Chain A
Amino acid sequence: MGIKFSLLAVLALVLVAFLGVEAIGMNYLFGVLVPYLAFFLFLTGFIYRILKWARAPVPFRIPTTSGQQKSFSWVKQNKLDNPSTKLATVGRMALEVLLFRSLFKNTKMEFRQGPKISYQWEKWLWLAGLAFHYSFFIIVVRHLRFFMEPVPGFVHLTESLDGFLQLGLPGLYITDLLFLAAVTYLFIRRVVIPQMRYISLPADYFPLFLLFGLGVTGVLMRYFTKVDIVKVKELAMGLATLHPTVPEGIGVLFFIHLFLVSTLMAYFPFSKLMHLGGVFLSPTRNLPNDSRIRRHINPWNYPVKVHTYEEYEDDFREKMIEAGLPVEKE
């Protein structure tokens, strides 16, 4: 159900861009207005979501730990899995953000031969996730060549490393293959593993199809059907210098690609893709485990009106004496 819905949604997006440009000729809408609107939504939506999260108080330390916490001097602390200082927490976060360390610890549980449980090493998700994220990152950096003039050195460096196989012309980019392979794996994994399929929603399939569509249109444009790259850059530079122009004669494939990117940007803040910002705000990762070292005061504490025993006795002293109850002050 979710698969069909998501696939149809992405196909509908492709069709909208195709018809909008090819049949009605709304090049300006799809080339300028939609991308600007999507980029605006992306930035403001992202900031909104982050600020909304940042308004939620985190009164106590709730890090998920998987190592020995700081204890006696003769017990060795696992500083990265159970950090107690700010520096170690930053280190832990860096490993999490850059290397997906918690995914690396992924295991697969299976029942074998009756009631025996076995846990297995399962690194494929980690590997595909890492390949996907780094490919996507490199692809985004490479795309800066369309948005910057003169093209800065780090973009050239990324390109030459990515294309160092020098296979065919235009040269093959390794990340193009990796990206499509990783997205395909992540999709197949969802479909093939029954538990994964059971918990998968349209919100899981839709981004995968969208990214796959992005990759396919990009690959088609570069290696197969071609678009006029100089005009593409003219359009991109127009967007980046705030003097938008839509040159004639860019292939419709480019507009489909651009519309899918716009969809991705507009969809981003409202979806699970917000883990880009959310990973930094996740309190089970970004807090040091110093619950027993520092005193943490609940930030929403307010002075509570209390009625002490002395005051209580003042109120009822005579009645207490009458009833024969012991009192502290006569």
Chain B
Amino acid sequence: MKIYDARYVLIGLAIFVGLFTIPFWYNMGRAVPPPDPKLDTPVIQQMAVKQCVLPLAEIRTGHMQLLNDWRTWVVRDGLRTYVAADGKTYNMSLQNTCMDCHSNKTQFCDQCHIYAGLEAGTVPYCWTCHIAPKENQ
């Protein structure tokens, strides 16, 4: 059967299919390995028990909220000591506590952040106030 105004209809359909299959074209022939955040900084290697502030699963998905809470507690409430679930105490500080172990921002933070589509250097906006660690490359 005849398709009326076939020129317009087919152009429209081509645009539709093209737009909705962008991911397939964009990634074609590209291997995208998942990120591999490095945990081999000198400080971590010297730790007897390699344990972060929160258990692995929680820190992985919830570190941004923890940092946000720390920010509020330190900057607005003047608190500095964080008591973890296992009773250990930490100094609530991104630069002195987090980055002490994870001194490898490009090998650690940026790995997942960039992969997850956060804009490098802009989001997360930690480093608009904090000083990014100088890494010895």
Contact = CB atoms under 8 A, between A and B. Distances in A.
Contacts of A280: 12
Interface size class of A (residues with CB under 8 A): 35 or more
A227 interface: yes
Interface stretch (A152-160, A182-190, A311-319, A320-328): A152-160
Contact of B16 (A168, A234, A277): A277
Interface stretch (B21-29, B74-82, B86-94, B97-105): B21-29
Contacts of A47: 13, 16-17
Contacts of A155: 117
B116 to A, nearest CB: 5
B88 to A, nearest CB: 23
Contacts of B6: 54
Interface string A208-246: 000000000000000000111110011001001110000
A113 B23 CA distance: 59
B23 A54 contact: no
A171 B118 CA distance: 11
B23 A55 contact: no
Contacts of B2: 55, 57, 299
B121 to A, nearest CB: 11
Residue of A47, A144, A227, A230 with most chain B CB atoms under a 10 A cut-off = A230
Contacts of A160: 119, 122-123
B61 A241 contact: no
Given A43-B20, A169-B64, A145 B116 contact: yes
A171 B60 CA distance: 17
A147 interface: yes
A171 B134 CA distance: 27
Interface in A44-61: 46-47, 50-51, 54-58
Contact of A230 (B4, B5, B34, B64): B34
A228 B9 contact: no
Interface residues of B, number: 42
Contacts of A277: 12, 16
A227 B116 CA distance: 12
B4 A57 contact: yes
24 contacts: A42-B20, A43-B17, A46-B16, A50-B13, A51-B9, A54-B3, A146-B117, A147-B27, A149-B27, A149-B115, A151-B114, A159-B123, A166-B125, A169-B64, A171-B123, A228-B61, A229-B116, A230-B60, A233-B34, A233-B117, A241-B32, A277-B12, A280-B12, A299-B4
> Top 8 nearest A-B pairs by Cβ distance?
A145-B117, A147-B23, A226-B61, A240-B23, A169-B64, A169-B68, A151-B117, A156-B119
Interface of A: 42-43, 46-47, 50-51, 54-58, 144-152, 155-156, 159-160, 163, 166, 168-171, 226-230, 233-234, 237, 240-242, 247, 249, 277, 280-281, 299
